[in-house]
Amino acid sequence: MILEGKKILVTGVTLDTSIAYAVADFATQQGAQVIVSNIPRAVSLTKRVVKHIDPTPEVLALDVNDDEAMANLPDQLRENGFDHLDGIVHSIAYANPERALGGAFLSTQWEDVAVALQTSAFSLKSLTVSLRELLGSGSSIVGLTFDNSLSWPSYDWMGVAKSALESTSRYLARYLGPDNIRCNLVAAGPIDTIAKKAIPGEVDFNKVWAERAPLGWNAKDAYPVGKAVCALLSDLFPATTGQMIHVDGGLSSTGA
């Protein structure tokens, strides 16, 4: 029960295959009071999916690119009994799969790049600032990434956005540290989520992990990643911030 009594917002819960779902489910098992969010057009789907979590969390409609929605978010949380937050999970990303992914890197226009950067990276900062009044000493922010220290086939501008996310997390750690608020990322191996399946050639990632991950890798099991996120949300890492923890079967540690 490493999250006993903690109040946690988990964004980006869509299907039960998502990492965010695994986080919300395991956090609940570990004693947390969880509330989840998704983009407005997918809220009805999220509400059906989270019924399998016991107790079932409330679901908020949230577009992180909508300034009004972000301004109203603290009040929405208070209305649902969240007068403070002990943890925030950022599981939000988007890039146009036809114009910004799949080998289109050289032809992608700024309009599509801007959407990818705002949704996937800047939103970590905007979400944190929106909820700053609810965070206190000991609070933890955890984002999800796919390590972009190397280039990946087809990942293109989403890879650039993930690099921006990783840098954003480090700067949040710098500026929130004096208030004893931590910010870290978990770099996951490929999980068969709806977002991953939008990447052209995404099955090739599974093949690479199957061949090279020292511990092996199950792309259909998001819970190893979810458990790592919950560990960082807990009080077990009180002096860890600005870090990117790999949960990828060890592939990031291996050479050719």
Q: Is residue 1 part of a domain?
A: no
Q: Is residue 184 part of a domain?
A: yes
Question: What does the pLDDT read at residue 179?
Answer: 98
Which has the closest alpha carbon to 16: 208, 248, 221?
A: 221
CATH code: domain of residue 75: 3.40.50.720
As a whole number of angstroms, the distance between CA 89 and CA 234 comes to 12
**Tens-place pLDDT, residues 103-150:** 999 999 999 999 999 999 999 999 999 999 999 999 999 999 999 999
Question: Is position 12 annotated in a ligand binding site?
Answer: yes
Question: Is position 63 annotated in a ligand binding site?
Answer: yes
Question: What does the pLDDT read at residue 198?
Answer: 79
**Tens-place pLDDT, residues 48-61:** 999 999 999 999 99
Q: Is residue 19 part of a domain?
A: yes
Q: Is residue 2 part of a domain?
A: no
Number of domains within the chain: 1
Residue 174 structural domain = 7-253
First to last CA, the chain: 40
As a whole number of angstroms, the distance between CA 223 and CA 91 comes to 14
**Residue 208, both tokens:** 């690479």
Paired strand residues for 38: 61
User: With 90 as the cut, is the pLDDT of residue 30 above it?
Assistant: yes
Q: Is residue 89 part of a domain?
A: yes
Question: Is position 154 annotated in a ligand binding site?
Answer: no
Question: Is position 66 annotated in a ligand binding site?
Answer: no
Question: Is position 18 annotated in a ligand binding site?
Answer: yes
**H-helix segments, 104-250:** 110-117, 123-130, 156-176, 203-212, 223-233
Q: Is residue 60 part of a domain?
A: yes
**Tens-place pLDDT, residues 192-220:** 988 887 787 778 889 999 999 999 999 99
Question: What does the pLDDT read at residue 195?
Answer: 82
When pLDDT is averaged across residues 58-72 and rounded to a whole number, the result is 97
Percent of the chain with pLDDT over 70: 100
Question: Is position 14 annotated in a ligand binding site?
Answer: no
Task: Specify the residue for token string 């059906």.
Answer: 48
